[in-house]
């Protein structure tokens, strides 16, 4: 059971872009939940039902935790079971009908345009196979706003350089065709012609992005690549693959993109997930106003 928790924590770092503080809170909350289950004689996630979840909520309340703390702990458990279902470990989610106190949703923290420019320029300083791959990888992520899991699942056939599009398979196996700009297309073309063949070392592989041994890039590998370049260019905030998705969404809205169009590009089933970026865009405009206006 602990192994699934560790896999989930890696997932929220790479896929969701959560901060080290949030991940630490998730670890503590899930470890506490695991200890509670052990005390109840439950040693398999398949044996955790809805009533067991509800009894855990009652246990937390009886221990005197504040409603906001209970809400956070239950939210962690809910997120974890969503992950187990999505990952195929469980067929049904026992937390679906379990209520919990509301928890404030933190706004994403995108990079500035200048920070994105520095980040994308760094791998272009090298013409090694790795440099060509990383340039294409970062350019594509910022050009499309794809999730980390979507990027590493891409096959070579998903890219259409002529039409400047990429075919992406998102959550629920929903496919979407995403446009890419000229710079991203050029980076991908160079990688496919000069970088990827040298990384393969003669291996036959369909994955678009491969590691130095010619095997498909993993979530952890992608996370390390982004971290490497963010550190190299001196970006102080915690940068993950999901940070590029946040940056893409915020910059698209800043540039005049419509909310419905952005929803389709991001692959959100519910527009409320997309609307959070309007709050980020408004916050950034307010910060710029307060900084620039002579009477602010």
User: Of residues 171, 203, 212, 279, which has the active-site annotation?
Assistant: 171
Residue 291 designated active-site: no
Mean pLDDT for 122-149 is: 96
pLDDT at residue number 69:
85
In terms of domains, do 147 and 224 share one?
yes
pLDDT at residue number 106:
65
Residue 147 designated active-site: yes
Question: Which residue's structure tokens are 């408004």?
Answer: 282
Q: What is the pTM of this model?
A: 0.68
Domain boundary among 34, 68, 86: 86
Q: What is the DSSP letter of 192?
A: I
Q: 261-274: b or e for each residue (b if 16 or more CB lie within 10 Å)?
A: ebbebbbbeeeeeb
In terms of domains, do 139 and 55 share one?
no
Question: Which residue's structure tokens are 């504040």?
Answer: 66
In terms of domains, do 78 and 178 share one?
no
Which token pair is 286? Answer: 């307010």
User: Of residues 73, 133, 242, 246, which has the active-site annotation?
Assistant: 242
The Cα–Cα gap between 165 and 171 comes to: 19
In terms of domains, do 9 and 82 share one?
yes
In terms of domains, do 78 and 32 share one?
yes
Does 259 fall in a domain?
A: no
pLDDT at residue number 292:
76
Confidence of residue 98 (pLDDT cuts 50, 70, 90): confident
- Count how many domains the chain has: 2
The Cα–Cα gap between 96 and 74 comes to: 12
User: Of residues 16, 78, 167, 268, which has the active-site annotation?
Assistant: 268
Does 106 fall in a domain?
A: no
In terms of domains, do 118 and 211 share one?
yes
In terms of domains, do 130 and 47 share one?
no
Question: Which residue's structure tokens are 């050029």?
Answer: 186
pLDDT at residue number 117:
96
pLDDT at residue number 154:
97
pLDDT at residue number 295:
64
Does 182 fall in a domain?
A: yes
DSSP calls for 95-153:
TTT------PPPPP-PPPHHHHHHHHHSGGG--SHHHHHHHHHHHHHHHH---HHHHHT
Does 233 fall in a domain?
A: yes
Which of residues 106 and 71 earns the better pLDDT score?
Answer: 71
In terms of domains, do 45 and 152 share one?
no
Q: Residue 74 is part of a domain; what is its CATH number?
A: 1.10.150.130
pLDDT in tens, 256-277: 999 999 999 999 988 888 888 8
DSSP calls for 149-182:
HHHHT-BGGGEETTTTEEEEE-GGG-EEEEE--H
In terms of domains, do 41 and 119 share one?
no
What is the domain extent for residue 67?
A: 2-86
In terms of domains, do 198 and 150 share one?
yes
Backbone angles phi, psi at 265, to 5 degrees: -65, -40
Backbone angles phi, psi at 264, to 5 degrees: -65, -40
Q: Chain-wide mean pLDDT for the chain?
A: 89
Residue 268 designated active-site: yes
Which of 121, 138, 125 minimizes the C-alpha distance to 247? Answer: 138
DSSP calls for 14-45:
HTS---HHHHHHHHHHHHHHHHHHHHTT---G
User: Of residues 73, 185, 219, 245, which has the active-site annotation?
Assistant: 245
Res 68 pLDDT > 90: no
In terms of domains, do 126 and 179 share one?
yes
Roughly how many angstroms between the first and final C-alpha of the chain, as a whole number? 54
Q: Residue 190 is part of a domain; what is its CATH number?
A: 1.10.443.10
pLDDT at residue number 293:
65
Residue 21 designated active-site: no
Which token pair is 88? Answer: 């195929």
Output the CA angle 81-82-86, nearest 5 degrees: 115
The CA-based dihedral angle spanning residues 51, 57, 59, 63, taken in that order and rounded to the nearest 10 degrees: -170
pLDDT at residue number 118:
97
Strands 159-160 and 175-179: unpaired
> What's the count of helices (H) and strands (E) in the chain, helices before strands?
13, 3
pLDDT in tens, 175-224: 999 999 999 999 999 999 999 999 999 999 999 999 999 999 998 999 99
Q: Is 228 within 8 Å of 126 (Cβ atoms)?
A: no
pLDDT at residue number 30:
94
pLDDT in tens, 136-167: 999 999 999 999 999 999 999 999 999 999 99
Does 264 fall in a domain?
A: no
pLDDT in tens, 42-62: 899 999 988 888 898 888 888
Q: Is 219 within 8 Å of 14 (Cβ atoms)?
A: yes
Does 246 fall in a domain?
A: no
In terms of domains, do 120 and 80 share one?
no
Does 76 fall in a domain?
A: yes
Confidence of residue 94 (pLDDT cuts 50, 70, 90): confident
Which of residues 223 and 290 earns the better pLDDT score?
Answer: 223
The Cα–Cα gap between 279 and 137 comes to: 28
pLDDT at residue number 214:
95
Res 130 pLDDT > 90: yes
Does 98 fall in a domain?
A: no
pLDDT at residue number 105:
55
Q: Is 188 within 8 Å of 159 (Cβ atoms)?
A: yes
Question: Which of these ranges, 88-102, 107-121, 175-189, 199-213, has the smallest mean pLDDT?
Answer: 88-102
User: Of residues 72, 133, 147, 219, which has the active-site annotation?
Assistant: 147
Residue 245 designated active-site: yes
């Amino acid at each position: 059971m602990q192994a699934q928790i560790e896999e989930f924590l890696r997932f929220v770092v790479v896929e969701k872009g959560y901060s080290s503080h949030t991940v630490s809170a998730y670890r503590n909350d899930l470890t506490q939940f695991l200890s509670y289950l052990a005390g109840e004689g439950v040693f398999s996630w398949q044996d955790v039902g809805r009533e067991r979840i509800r009894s855990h909520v009652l246990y937390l309340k009886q221990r005197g935790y504040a409603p906001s703390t209970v809400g956070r702990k239950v939210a962690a458990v809910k997120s974890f079971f969503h992950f187990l279902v999505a990952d195929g470990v469980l067929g049904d989610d026992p937390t679906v009908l379990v209520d919990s106190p509301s928890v404030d949703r933190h706004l994403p923290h995108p990079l500035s345009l200048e920070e994105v420019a520095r980040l994308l320029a760094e791998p272009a300083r090298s013409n090694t196979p790795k440099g060509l791959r990383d340039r294409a990888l970062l350019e594509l992520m910022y050009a499309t706003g794809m999730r980390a899991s979507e990027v590493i699942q891409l096959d070579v056939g998903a890219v259409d350089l002529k039409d400047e599009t990429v075919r992406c398979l998102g959550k629920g196996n929903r496919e979407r065709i995403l446009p890419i700009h000229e710079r991203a297309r050029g980076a991908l073309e160079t990688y496919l012609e000069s970088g990827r063949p040298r990384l393969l070392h003669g291996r036959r592989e369909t994955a678009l992005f491969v590691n130095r041994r010619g095997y498909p890039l993993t979530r952890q590998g992608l996370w390390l690549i982004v971290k490497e370049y963010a550190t190299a260019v001196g970006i102080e905030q915690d940068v993950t693959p999901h940070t590029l998705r946040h940056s893409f969404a915020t910059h698209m809205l800043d540039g005049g993109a419509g909310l419905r169009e952005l929803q389709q590009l991001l692959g959100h089933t519910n527009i409320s997930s997309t609307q959070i970026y309007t709050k980020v865009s408004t916050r950034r405009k307010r910060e710029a106003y307060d900084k620039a206006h002579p009477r602010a």
